[in-house]
Structure 1
Amino acid sequence: MPLEHSHAPDDIADRLRDGPNISYLRDWVYGGIDGAVTTFAIVAGSLGANLSSTIVLILGLANLLADGFSMAAANYSGTKTEEADYHRLQSIEEKHIRLEPDGEREEIRQIYKAKGYEGQELESLVAIITSRRQTWIETMMQEEYGLGSAQRSAMKAAIATFAAFIICGSLPLLPFVFGWQASGLITSLSTACAFFLIGSIKAKWSTQSWYMSGLETTAIGMAAAGIAWIVGYLLHGLVT
């Protein structure tokens, strides 16, 4: 079974020098699924209400741009909030290390004692970690708050969400843009394929099989669209 990366000394040095690889996968998956779900739900609801193709297209495009921007803006704000909270906690640890270093050393000692270290080995480990302020702070951030030093870019997260939303959310609208016959059926099939593709790609970063992940994502997306179609059908029945 092949390994994921090389363990040659030079390759290790290069990999560590580049720093951790920050993933924006969740932003792509989140934006892609939501874009396909919400746009397809609008299309399905409109078809259930027996609206014209022009109205379906107008509603779909309005959702595609407005909701896509809204999601990107929300993701940007949320990521910025996480970044601000990290710096807030970091400043707290810096102050505590400056004003109460013995207490902070005791925290390090108890953290690694809980991991199974004891005696001289534990004391040596505490001395090594607390000998460098930055290492000390990063250790406290990781062990006390569960926060890593690698911070996600709010702008990159927002762009990933918006791009995935627009790309996947466009699929349910394409049949109406080109005026294809049986637009509803084509939209359903193309969107189901998009859901399956997103789920399958997502499985690359998990232990779930690609086809099960694809089927799970497809089921979630189509269920949302089914609910929207039923609502549109019932409302159409009320006004006719």
Structure 2
Amino acid sequence: MVDHGHSPQEISDRIGRPPGRGVLRDVVYGAIDGSVTTFAIVAGVAGAGLSPFVIVALGLANVLADGFSMAAGNYSGTKAELDDLKRLRQVEENHIKTYPEGERGEAREILRLKGLSGPVLEAATDAICADKEAWINLMMEGEYGVSPVDPDPMRAALATFAAFLLAGMVPLLPFLLGLGSAFTISVWLTLVTFFAIGAFKSHWALSPWWRSGAETLAIGGAAAALAYGVGCLFQA
């Protein structure tokens, strides 16, 4: 299936401005953790036989505090990754300035491993090494195995927090709305959410949506069952 165009202009726009890593990992991670941790509180407190008010209070505290904590942690982690990439770029820039022939040899070897040889290899090496930015990008990819596109810490943090907040509120909805059999409804809504998250991420995978959904459902369901079992141990 072709999901983008291949006209000269489309190719130039797409390759010239790559989108980077994106936020899929952050969204899936935040949504699953939001569902699991909030339902773990709901299940644990319900298993202990405490009131719906306690469930809502603890659940909201978890959604806000744990969601912010996850977002802050993701921001710090992505920022550390970004700082490391900047450090590596500086290392390569200094190496190119200090050891140009050695770095040219490394660039040539990287291009050779990509399948170039003979006069084409030499011409490509000359062309890459004539542009310092292109040279550094090649070294970042070939020597360190990292993308030349820098990650965005704030975008990663916001995506994590938003996904955590939306998915984490689902187990609490029956209690917030004062529905009868709130815990039973919460169980079903949370299981549906687990499956929906898995089905959603299958859009970027080769596995069918139902298999991805069932896998996430199994993981989330196991965590929820464990939390409920622990809560039952403390039931009065």
TM-score, structure 2 as length reference: 0.96
Q: Where in structure 2 are the equivalents of 1:3-82 lying within 5 Å? A: 3-17=2-16, 19-22=17-20, 23-82=22-81
Report 1:1-240 matches (<5 A).
2-17=1-16, 19-22=17-20, 23-236=22-235, 240=236
Query: For structure 1, which runs of at least 5 residues remain unmatched after alignment?
Result: none
Alpha-carbon distance in structure 1 between the residues aligned to 2:12 and 2:112: 30
What secondary structure is seen at the aligned counterpart in 1 of 2:3? coil
The separation in 2 between residues aligned to 1:147 and 1:141, in whole angstroms, is 6
Structure 1 CA distance for aligned equivalents of residues 9 and 97 of structure 2: 37
Measure, in 2, the Cα distance between the counterparts of 1:70 and 1:104.
Answer: 42
Distance 1:221 1:177 in 2: 22
Deviates more, 1:110-119 or 1:167-176: 110-119
The alpha-carbon deviation at position 14 of structure 1 amounts to: 3.3
The one-letter code sitting in structure 2 at the alignment partner of 1:68 is G
Cα distance in 1 for residues equivalent to 2:48 and 2:193: 24
Deviations 1:72-106 (A, max 9, x none): 00000001001000000000000000000000011
- State the Cα distance separating 1:149 from its structure 2 match: 1.7
Report the residue type matching 1:37 in the other structure.
Answer: V
Q: Distance in 2 between matches of 1:13 and 1:138?
A: 18
Residue-by-residue CA offset, 1:19-46 (whole Å, 9 max, x unaligned): 1123111111111110000000110111
Matched positions, count? 235
Q: 1: CA distance between counterparts of 2:105 and 2:7?
A: 37
Deviation at residue 235 of structure 1 after TM alignment: 2.4
Cα deviations by residue, 1:149-168 (Å, 9 ceiling, x for unpaired): 21121111101100110100
| % identical equivalent positions | 49
Matched position secondary structure for 1:62: helix
CA distance in 1, matches of 2:221, 2:153: 30
Shift of 1:119: 2.6
Name the aligned partner's letter for residue 105 of structure 2. E
Normalising by structure 1, we get a TM-score of 0.94
Superposed displacement of residue 112, structure 1: 2.5
Match of 2:108, SS state, is helix
User: d(CA) in 2 for partners of 1:27 and 1:218?
Assistant: 18
